[in-house]
Amino acid sequence: MKQRPSFPARLDSDNPQAAPKTLLGATRVVTAQSSVRSKPAGMASPTGVGLDSSTVRARMLQKLASQGIDDAVVLEAMGRVERHRFVDSALVNQAYEDTSLPIGLGQTISKPNVVARMIALLRQAPGLQGEGMMRRVLEIGTGCGYQAAVLSCVAREVYSIERLRGLHDKARENIRPMRLPNVHLIFGDGMLGFAQGAPYSAIISAAGGENVPQAWIDQLAVGGRLVAPTHTSSGQQALVVIDKTPQGLQQSLLEAVNFVPLKSGIA
Ligand code: SAH
């Protein structure tokens, strides 16, 4: 079995604000310690990569802050999840650079800045204020599982769906040692959403399509927010934010982005 890259690192302190507290519909209480461990179980001991990941992660956070990410909860989550565990060992030295990286099957792990920006946008939804933590979140495009792990720090339940079996399996392998009981990985076509987990407080897509599928709108809770890359009339890709309010949908188009395509069906 392929060895995951490992640093002489620890996951950073537990912040009760940012950690999942309760599971919806369950009596189980998940403490910060049980969801994000100070020493992830099942990890190999340091292999002498020559880089302390907590230091490079701290540098990544500084960069994110300088780029305008000012949501402390998002920064905390980005600081907790060890991105190097989600990339191939050959790319481990680039794991904390603000760049997307190949994860196999022609797909990429999103740039840290884009992950942080999209999650911060979700948390700014007017309908989600006062909740403390997002309830159910649906991610379309699990890829290697990195963003799902970050989402697990800011949401009670994370449903993440991937259409490529190889990547779904890889994400499972990456996330298993982190023991994140609030992350549910699904193999399937995310263009259909995932009705079993609906309604969602938030929906986030890591792949860009021509339009936002109706299923996502249908599965969004009233008060919820959807953030996705989509094609604009000029043929470019841009982030779209859709709020489902009691009065109807409110849509805004934000900055240009560059995501892998949203495709239908499974493979
Ligand atoms: N979330 C990842 C990014 C993965 S890239 C991260 O943390 O960095 C986007 C992923 O979307 C790819 O793995 C691609 O296979 C997947 N994808 C594209 N169309 C999809 C669909 N209809 N349903 C589910 N996943 C899809």
pLDDT digits (tens, 9 = 90+) for 205-230: 999 999 999 999 999 999 999 999 99
| Whether residue 202 has pLDDT greater than 70 | yes
Which residue, chain included where needed, has tokens 């604009």? Answer: 232
Fold classification of 28-261 (topology level): Rossmann fold (3.40.50)
222 CB-side CA count, 13 A: 4
Task: Output the average pLDDT for the chain.
Answer: 85
Counting atoms of ligand 1 from 1, which one is nearest the CA of 263?
Answer: 19
The answer to whether 82 touches 11, Cβ cutoff 8 Å, is yes
Nearest to 79 by CA among 142, 149, 133: 149
Per-residue tokens: 217: 């709108």
pLDDT band at residue 6 using 50, 70 and 90 as cut-offs = low
Ligand 1 binding pocket, CB closer than 6 Å: 107-110, 140-144, 146-147, 161-164, 167, 189-191, 206-207, 260, 262-264
Domain boundaries, the chain: 28-261
In angstroms, the Cα distances linking 201 to 80, 156, 183, 208, 267 are: 23, 10, 15, 20, 28
Per-residue tokens: 212: 């936002």
pLDDT at 3: 53
pLDDT band at residue 30 using 50, 70 and 90 as cut-offs = very low
Instruction: Calculate ∠ Cα 160-79-184, nearest 5°.
Output: 15
Pairing of strands 248-256, 237-245: antiparallel
**50 vs 56 pLDDT, higher one:** 56
CA distance 103 to 142: 11
110 is catalytic: yes
**157 vs 49 pLDDT, higher one:** 157
Return the minimum-mean-pLDDT range out of 41-55, 104-118, 134-148: 41-55
Ligand 1 centre to CA of 206 (Å) is 5
State the amino acid at position 77 in one-letter form.
A
Mean pLDDT of 238-249: 98
How much is the pTM? 0.85
